[in-house]
Amino acid sequence: MKQRTLKSSFGFEGIGLHTGRKVTVKVNPAPANSGILFSRVDLDPALKVRASHENVRSDEMRQTALVVGTGLVRTIEHLMSAFHALGVDNAWIEIDGEEVPGMDGSAQEFTRLILDAGFEEQNAERNFLEIKEPVFVDHGDQSIMIVPAPDLQVSYTLSYHDADLEDQYMTVTILPEIYERELAPARTFCLKKEAEQLLAMGFGKGANPSNTLIFERNRPVQNELRFANEACRHKIVDILGDLFLSGKFIRGHVIAQRTGHSLNLELVRKLAMTLDPNADLMSKKTLTVEEIQKIIPHRYPFLFVDRIENFEPGLRATGWKQVTMNDYFFQGHFPGHPVMPGVLIVEAMAQVGGVIMLGEPENRGKIAYFMSVDQVKWRSPVKPGDSLRMEVEVLKKRSKFGQCSGKAYVGDQLVCEADVKFAVVDA
C-alpha cells in the first residue's frame, strides 16, 4: 500500500478548548516519509516538528501536547485521529497559536475538510506496525493493551463508577467510512464536577456546552447526545489520535478500559521499545561507545567520543574522550612533545553535536555533514592522560541543518570552543 498526502491545502480557525484563544490553522500536503509535521508560524515558521511520541510533553492534563521549538501545540489528538482513520501519511500543519481549535468538540469538521481536500498517492510504501504479540499497560482499574489482529480494531469500556455517567462499551473496526459515520461526530466530554475543577486549574477556558458534553445525572447539560454511547466513542477517537504518534498505521486489536492520553502514550512508547530494540536509546541520559555508534557513522580510528552523558536529543549533551598515548595521531604530532591536534578537538565536539542532532526521531538513520566552523579558539594544549569533557548545545535547528556551540574542558580548564554548523542529509 502506498503512502498518501492531501491533494490540496485547506484552512480553518476557531477557539482552543483549553486556552480559549482564537487560532488559525492551515493544513498542507507534505512529501513522502515526512509524517505529520507541525509548525508554530507565530514563533518559528521554518521549524517543522514531527508529531511523534518522542516530541510529546508528558505533563499535560486531558490533552496531547506537542513540543514545537520554544512553544507547544496542544490538543492535537482529534486532528491526528482523523489523519489516522482516513489514511493520511504525510501532512504539514501551520498554526499561529498554541492549541488546535476545538471546533464542536469532535473530529467531524476535520474529517469533512480532509475528505473535501482529497488524497494524492505517493511513491513510497506505507509504514505499518503489525502486532505480533500482546503489549499492555495496566494501572489497576485503567488498562490498555493491543493484541494481534489482521486490521485495526478498538474495543473500549467506559466505567467511571459515577451516577453522572453510566457505563458504556463499544467495539469497532476502523475503516474510513465507519470512522466518518460512527466515530468522528462523537464529542469530547467531562463530568460537571470535573469541569469545575478544570476551570479552577486554568484548563477548559474555551469549553462550553456547545463544544463539550458536560454530564450530570447521565445527561449532557444544555445539549443532546448524537449517540447513546457518545462518550465511549469519543474515547476511541482519542485513542486513534494518540496511537498515530507511533508514526505508523497499526494492525492490531486495541482493548482499553478507562484510559486517558497519558496511558495511551505509555502504550505507544512501549510498542516502540518492543518493536525497535534501539528505540530506548533516545530515552537514555548516558550512552556507551557502542550506543554512540548506533547514532553516528564514525568508527575507529576517527571516532573521538568514548561516552555521552546528560543526553537530551535535539538540545544538549556532554561528551567524554579519554586521551591516551596510544591514540594514532601522537605518532606524528610532536612525538617529543605530544599534543592532541586542535582540529581533532573541534572534530570531537562536532561528533557530540552530531549525536545530539541525529538523536532526534526525524533524523534517525541520517548523516550530519560539516557546513562551517566559526568562533574557534584554542585555549590550552590537550596531552596524553587528559580526560576531555565536551559541553555541546544546540543553538539553531531546522529540518535540513543545525548549529551547535561547543566548549571542551580538561578539568575546569577551558581548552577549546567553537560553533559548528551541520547539514543533515539522508544516508
Helix (H) or strand (E) holding 195: helix 192-200
Which member of 18, 261, 298, 337 is catalytic? 261
Contacts of 137 (CB under 8 A, 6+ apart): 143, 144, 145, 263, 266, 267, 270
| Category of 378 on φ-ψ map: left (φ > 0), alpha (ψ -120 to 50) or beta | beta
Sheet of 22-29, strand order: 10-15, 22-29, 91-95, 36-40, 49-50
Number of alpha carbons in the 13 Å side-chain half-sphere of residue 171: 4
**Cα 183 off chain centre by:** 25
Tell me whether residue 298 is one of the annotated catalytic residues.
Answer: no
Q: Minimal CA–CA distance to 182: which of 106, 258, 126, 71?
A: 106
Which member of 53, 298, 333, 337 is catalytic? 333
Sheet of 65-68, strand order: 56-57, 65-68, 71-73
Cα separation, 189 vs 105, whole angstroms:
8
Q: What is the length of the chain?
A: 427
Cα separation, 413 vs 161, whole angstroms:
62
Residue 65, SS3 per DSSP:
strand
Tell me whether residue 333 is one of the annotated catalytic residues.
Answer: yes
Q: Hey, which residues are catalytic here?
A: 261, 333
